Amino acid sequence: MHLLLINGPNLNLLGQREPSIYGSSTLQAIEVDLQRKAKEEGVQLDCFQSNFEGALVDRIHKAIGEVDAILINAGAYTHTSVALRDALLGAGIPYVELHLSNTSAREQFRHNSFLSDRAVGVISGFGVMSYHLALQGILNYLRKPG
Ligand code: CA2
């Protein structure tokens, strides 16, 4: 099984700024930890981060025929990007939307997601644990019979 973790804009700053909202782990530490966990499950996990919407779209296109599912924290593009939605739906790859913070408990403009209605599931508000729960959730989804 082959999975892809995608992180969107500003998430490269994790662990360096605003720890009260986003925690103190760096993105690299999260990725290494998740890749270790995936490997224990016999799964390959690739990781990609970009601050550019088009680069995220390109990476989703590249994933067609390559990965079984995508875990995505699209950052602020969650709330703005029809292009990311179209790329995910066009790729036809099942995906989990995830967030460190509980976006529903934050500003009104974070309450809308262009991705959530077609996601396998959405995980939001558990900090770094959101990444682990997303991995667990998608493995359970992909492995379930039928
Ligand atoms: O809670 C999440 O994971 C978000 O996707 C994070 C985005 C935000 O726009 C979404 O509404 C919710 C922001 C990521 C910014 O990451 C930073 C990390 C450290 C310092 C500054 C920004």
pLDDT of residue 21: 83
Calculate the average pLDDT of the chain: 97
Q: Is the CB of 130 under 6 A from ligand 1?
A: no
Q: Which residues are catalytic?
A: 22, 99
CB 2 within 8 A of CB 44: yes
Predicted TM-score of the model (pTM): 0.97
End-to-end CA distance of the chain: 17
Cα torsion angle, 84, 61, 22, 142, sign: positive
| Distance (Å) from CA 145 to ligand 1 centroid | 35
| Distance (Å) from CA 143 to ligand 1 centroid | 30
User: What backbone phi and psi angles, to 5 degrees, belong to 69?
Assistant: -165, 160
Span 14-43, average pLDDT: 93
**Segment 79-124, tens digit of pLDDT:** 999 999 999 999 999 999 999 999 999 999 999 999 999 999 999 9
Q: Is the CB of 50 under 6 A from ligand 1?
A: no
Q: Is the CB of 73 under 6 A from ligand 1?
A: yes
Interaxial angle between packed helices 129-143 and 27-40, expressed in degrees from 0 to 180 and rounded to the nearest 10: 30
